[in-house]
Amino acid sequence: MGTKKKINIISLGCAKNLVDSEILLGGLKKTNLALTKDPEDADCIVINTCGFLDIAREESVETILQAAELKKTANLSELVVMGCLSERYPQQLSEEIPEIDKIFGSNDHRQIVSFLSGQDYKRDDPLFFRSLMTPKHYAYLKIAEGCDNGCSFCSIPIMRGLQKSRSISSIVAEAEKLASNGTKELLIIAQDSTSYGWDLKDKVYLSDLINQLNKIKDIGWIRIHYAHPAHLSDGIIKSMANAEKVCNYLDMPVQHASDNMLNKMRRGLGKKGIVKKINSLRECIPNIALRTTLIVGHPGETNHDFKLLKEFVEDIQFDRLGVFTYSEEDGTLAAKYDDDVPREIKDKRKNMILDIQNDISLEKNQLFVGKTLKVLVDKSGSNISVGRSEYDSPDIDNIVHIKSSVEVGSFVNVKIEKANEYELIGKLV
């Protein structure tokens, strides 16, 4: 018997991409192929690329070029590329990097597995069940693909198409299977989770899905990402408040706070409307942690627009906040505008917002000192563990240092003794 072909998967970009890689990995595990975590040991590398923003495209191209080098220096005989960059620029990739053997789209899991294994997977084969690339106690749950919103700066609809929601029954079945494999926390993701179900023939809503997921026995936390403020209905807010497993947390990218910019960005809601949604959330779910994302330097952003954004960040006091500098995306509405904010001004504005947020984060974290928080443990060492409270999503938010060794994936109560801008430190109680 010959040795098995070794496959290495490299997943770049967002959590939605990660889920695609996990589905592929699940499919590959059903074949006669071996999997390796070491690219240098692989006969074939599959790179799931990200095509959103300059920095992500550069990382994707750089990763492909590094893998291509392994054809000269290691065992590599096949290089396969999938994901958003390959959806967007298949021609350019194959012309500029001839070492690529095959290019696939984001959802071509069966075709990729057929290509790598030589086995024919028919279209109607049941979906390969995901093999998690996260620790098994938490998993991203993708409830829809694509987006209908048409924001000026965003190329997702070009790469991923219009919104295609999954049925509630298929999402719940996946969540139940994850729970039976040890998943304790579900992280709900879509391009716009708040418009989930609108496109289905029998229309359903995110609130209906929340109510169903809340019934799954072994799930402890449900965390909702990527709410669009214009689509955040009272029904969704109520279902979040009433579902005891839904974390007091919402990731809601508002992008800006100047009406001029919100209009240019085609966000469908002005500043007044955004503030009203935030007030409703805080009223219905008093201790909710709100995460948002902002874009600075979008074409047309004036000093006055930025001043309004700064004041908004100071006034609203978000619990968690990320900032992007505007990056031109081919084919979008904003690409037709003159990119008139110089790079150094974009960077300066980004840093100013982050400085304000640092102070807010420190202040908010210090309020936890002396309090006891329920924490889900992500990592454990000989005398220290690291976890998160319900107010924190993995990899992007605060962490809690625990002065003990605790089993990964367990929920524990931690009394907070110290705090800095992005960390809490405490002991088991």
Tell whether the model's pLDDT for residue 2 goes beyond 90. no
For residues 63 and 322, what is the distance between their CA atoms, to the nearest angstrom?
Answer: 25
Domain borders along the chain are: 6-117, 138-366, 372-428
| Domain 6-117: which CATH number of 3.40.640.10, 3.40.50.12160, 3.40.50.1000, 1.10.10.60 | 3.40.50.12160
Q: What's the mean per-residue pLDDT of the chain?
A: 94
For residues 342 and 286, what is the distance between their CA atoms, to the nearest angstrom?
Answer: 40
Share of the chain above pLDDT 90, in %: 84
Sign of CA dihedral 142, 62, 295, 84: negative
pLDDT tens digits for 305-330? 999 999 999 999 999 999 999 999 98
Residue 125: pLDDT band with limits 50, 70, 90: low
Share of the chain above pLDDT 70, in %: 98
Instruction: For residue 44, give the nearest of 12, 76, 72 by alpha carbon.
Output: 76
Residue 221: pLDDT band with limits 50, 70, 90: very high
> What's the topology of domain 138-366?
pyruvate-formate lyase- activating enzyme (3.80.30)
Per-residue pLDDT, averaged over 178-204, amounts to 96
Q: What is the pLDDT of residue 1?
A: 44
Q: What is the pLDDT of residue 66?
A: 94
Tell whether the model's pLDDT for residue 102 goes beyond 70. yes
- The 3-state DSSP class for residue 188 equals strand
pLDDT tens digits for 392-417? 999 999 999 999 999 999 999 999 99
pLDDT tens digits for 249-274? 999 999 999 999 999 999 999 999 99
| Domain 372-428: which CATH number of 3.90.1330.10, 1.20.1250.20, 2.40.50.140, 3.90.1150.10 | 2.40.50.140
- The 3-state DSSP class for residue 176 equals helix
pLDDT tens digits for 353-374? 999 999 999 999 999 999 999 9
Tell whether the model's pLDDT for residue 199 goes beyond 80. yes
- Residue 242's H or E segment, with its range, is helix 234-242
